[in-house]
Amino acid sequence: MPTASPLVVSLAQIAPVWLDRDATVAKVAHWVAQAAAAGSRLVAFGEALAPGYPFWIEHTEGARFESALQKALFAHYAEQAVDLTRDDLAPVRAAARQGRLWVALGCIERARERGHSLYCSLVLIDDHGEIRNVHRKLMPTYEERLVWSPGDGQGLQCFALDGFTLGGLNCWENWMPLARSALYAQGEDLHIAVWPGNANNTADLTRHLAREGRSYALSVSGLLRREDIPAHLPHADILRAALPEVSANGGSCIAAPTGEWLLPPCVGEEKLMVAELDPAVVRGERQNFDPFGHYSRPDVLELQVNRGRPCGARFRDDAPTSSG
Active site residue 137: yes
Q: What is the pLDDT of residue 112?
A: 86
The interaxial angle of helices 21-37 and 90-99, nearest 10 deg, is 10
Q: What is the pLDDT of residue 313?
A: 82
Q: What is the pLDDT of residue 311?
A: 81
Q: What integer is the mean pLDDT of 294-306?
A: 93
Q: What is the pLDDT of residue 312?
A: 78
Spatial strand order of the sheet with 7-13 comes to 131-136, 118-125, 102-110, 42-44, 7-13, 271-277
The interaxial angle of helices 177-184 and 199-213, nearest 10 deg, is 50
Active site residue 58: no
Out of 47, 173, 212, 285, the active site residue is: 47
- Each domain of the chain, given as residue ranges in start order, spans 7-285
Q: What is the pLDDT of residue 19?
A: 97
**Residue 95 gets which letter from DSSP?**
H
CB 225 within 8 A of CB 82: no
Burial of 52 (0-12, 13-18, 19+ CB in 10 A): buried
Report pTM: 0.94
Percentage, residues of the chain above pLDDT 90: 92
Out of 109, 137, 212, 285, the active site residue is: 137
Q: pLDDT digits over 37-86, tens only?
A: 999 999 999 999 999 999 999 999 999 999 999 999 999 999 999 999 99
Task: Give the residue among 130, 58, 79, 117 at the shortest CA–CA distance from 234.
Answer: 79
Q: What is the pLDDT of residue 65?
A: 95
CATH architecture of the domain formed by 7-285? 4-Layer Sandwich (3.60)
User: For residue 2, is pLDDT > 80?
Assistant: no
Q: pLDDT digits over 198-250, tens only?
A: 999 999 999 999 999 999 999 999 999 999 999 999 999 999 999 999 999 99
Q: pLDDT digits over 106-118, tens only?
A: 999 999 888 899 9
Q: Mind giving me the DSSP string for 42-85?
A: EEE--TTTBT---THHHHTTTT-TT-HHHHHHHHHHHHHSB-GG
Out of 107, 171, 253, 266, the active site residue is: 171
